[in-house]
């Protein structure tokens, strides 16, 4: 979806209703919020003309707080960022409970979420599409960085054979 368009940044629910009625203006919804059209059309506008208000649904009062957001985040289940990752991956035992420094835990977490700026991730974000491994010329991926790169093989494996340039 991306950042909101300038024309809808200060829009209100009332702007999506047809003038003089309490019915949704499908044309405006399709133009401004096409990804949410079905969700919006399933809602029923107030028949009494209630004013628009901000509401944080997870709380009884409707008030947002960092505390309420924290508790909502705790409810969410961590899903792997790639569909081919093991569905049974247990974040708590496999990363957060590992006996290592907090920096190493964050690095592991970033690796699992493709948040390390390697060539593959930069290419996916349209930042740079030409980044290759300087030693082997292969696409720079997290797997390559940690398991197949010159430095990882030099440190952890003795089967590295440098390719000629």
pLDDT band at 26 (very low <50, low <70, confident <90, very high): very high
Q: Output 68 or 156, whichever has higher pLDDT.
A: 68
**Residue 102, pLDDT score:** 87
pTM for the whole thing? Answer: 0.38
d(CA 95, CA 93): 6
Q: What angle do CA 146, 148, 149 make, to 5 degrees?
A: 75
Given a cut of 80, is residue 111 above it in pLDDT?
yes
pLDDT band at 161 (very low <50, low <70, confident <90, very high): very low
């Amino acid at each position: 979806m991306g950042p909101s368009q300038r024309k809808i940044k200060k829009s209100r629910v009332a702007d999506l209703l047809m003038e003089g009625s309490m019915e949704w203006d499908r044309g405006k919804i399709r133009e401004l919020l096409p990804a949410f059209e079905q969700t919006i059309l399933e809602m029923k506008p107030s028949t009494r003309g209630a004013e628009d208000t901000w509401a944080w649904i997870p709380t009884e009062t409707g008030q947002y707080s960092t505390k309420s957001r924290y508790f909502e985040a705790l409810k969410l289940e961590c899903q792997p960022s790639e569909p081919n990752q093991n569905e049974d991956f247990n974040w708590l035992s496999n990363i957060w409970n590992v006996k290592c420094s907090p920096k190493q835990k964050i690095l592991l977490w970033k690796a699992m979420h493709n948040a390390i700026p390697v060539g593959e991730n930069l290419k996916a974000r349209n930042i740079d599409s030409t980044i290759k491994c300087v030693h082997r010329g292969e696409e720079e991926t997290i797997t390559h960085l940690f398991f197949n790169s010159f430095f990882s093989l030099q440190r952890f494996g003795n089967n590295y054979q440098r390719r000629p340039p």
